[in-house]
């Protein structure tokens, strides 16, 4: 019997996960099917239970169900606990193992695909939401000289600090206080892109030769990336590599083989115009 996997979200018709995982399966000789499930709001557990009864082996989770998946999981890896969110479930009998591969996917894309070591660099992460929570652990593990999180609403930064009390490289600044330092790597982890806005980061926050990275993908040249270009940044990328790399982590957990990712990234990349 062909093994069944899926991604759940709402909306979900735009998802590239079926294309990615089916491509991985073909490349690695794995017998599986992968579908997209549009989950009804407020009925996550009921929906997942119904698909598990149909033989679902594993599930990727996207907006808005990552916190629902966290609550659904019977056990969670360290990255999921740090993020407070789960983006991958693996089913084994009554158990539902929750993981979060977003942060490791981001770090791998930056270092392996974009050839930009994090160690010894200055990093600015914009936003204090779930994407930032998931990214901080993997980024800090790679030894940045400093990792600054920019926040809009006072108080949220305290929650992040509490997750990494021993991280000496980690600090926090309000957007209004940015501008005193230029950063080698600037990551937009806010939801501003979805509303067609740029986060209020000053142009002088981008160092000469910086990498500007928008975690959103498939949106072309986003307002954040336009801002980076206005600052003279020539290395501007979106989150398509992160998407593929986190998918590869989930695929490896489910199938025991990690697929090559470069070909898939090239296949689904949208030009930044």
246 known member of a binding site: yes
Which residues sit opposite 206 in a β-bridge?
183
87 known member of a binding site: yes
Cα 156 to its chain centre, rounded Å, is 19
Is 121 in contact with 145 (CB distance < 8 Å)?
A: yes
Q: If 0-12 CB within 10 Å is exposed, 13-18 middle and 19+ buried, where does residue 162 land?
A: exposed
30 known member of a binding site: no
Q: How many CB atoms lie within 10 A of CB 268?
A: 16
CA nearest neighbour of 187 among 253, 135, 264, 229: 135
Which is it for the CA torsion 249, 35, 64, 53, positive or negative?
A: negative
106 known member of a binding site: no
62 known member of a binding site: yes
16 known member of a binding site: yes
Any idea which residues carry the catalytic annotation?
A: 66
239 known member of a binding site: yes
Which residues sit opposite 89 in a β-bridge?
59, 98
What's the CA gap between 58 and 97, in Å, rounded? 9
219 known member of a binding site: no
The single-letter DSSP state of residue 254 is H
Known binding-site residues equal 15-17, 62, 87, 102, 215, 217, 239, 246
Known binding-site residues for NADP(+) equal 215, 239
Known binding-site residues for shikimate equal 15-17, 62, 87, 102, 217, 246
């Amino acid at each position: 019997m062909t093994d069944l996997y899926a991604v759940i979200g709402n909306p979900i018709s735009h998802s590239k996960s079926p294309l990615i995982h089916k491509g991985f399966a073909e490349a690695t000789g794995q017998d599986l099917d992968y579908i997209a499930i549009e989950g009804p709001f407020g009925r996550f557990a009921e929906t997942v239970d119904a698909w598990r009864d149909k033989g679902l082996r594993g599930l990727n989770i996207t907006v808005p169900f990552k916190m629902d998946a966290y609550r659904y999981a019977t056990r969670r890896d360290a990255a999921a606990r740090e993020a407070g969110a789960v983006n991958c479930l693996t089913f084994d009998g009554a158990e539902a193992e929750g993981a979060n591969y977003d942060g490791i996917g981001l770090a791998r894309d930056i270092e392996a695909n974009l050839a930009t070591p994090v160690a010894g660099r200055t990093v600015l992460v914009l936003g204090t939401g779930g994407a930032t929570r998931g990214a901080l652990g993997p980024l800090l593990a790679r030894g940045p000289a400093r990792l600054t999180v920019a926040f809009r609403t006072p108080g949220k930064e305290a929650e992040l600090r509490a997750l990494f009390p021993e991280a000496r490289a980690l600090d926090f600044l309000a957007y209004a206080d940015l501008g005193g330092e230029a950063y080698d790597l600037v990551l937009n982890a806010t939801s501003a892109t979805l509303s067609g806005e740029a986060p209020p980061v000053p142009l002088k926050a981008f160092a000469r030769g910086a990498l500007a990275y928008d975690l959103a993908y498939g949106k072309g040249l986003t307002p954040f990336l336009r801002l980076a270009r206005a600052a003279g940044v020539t290395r501007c990328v979106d989150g398509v590599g992160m998407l593929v790399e986190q998918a590869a982590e989930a695929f490896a957990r489910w199938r025991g083989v990690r697929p090559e990712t470069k070909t898939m990234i090239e296949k689904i990349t949208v030009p930044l115009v």
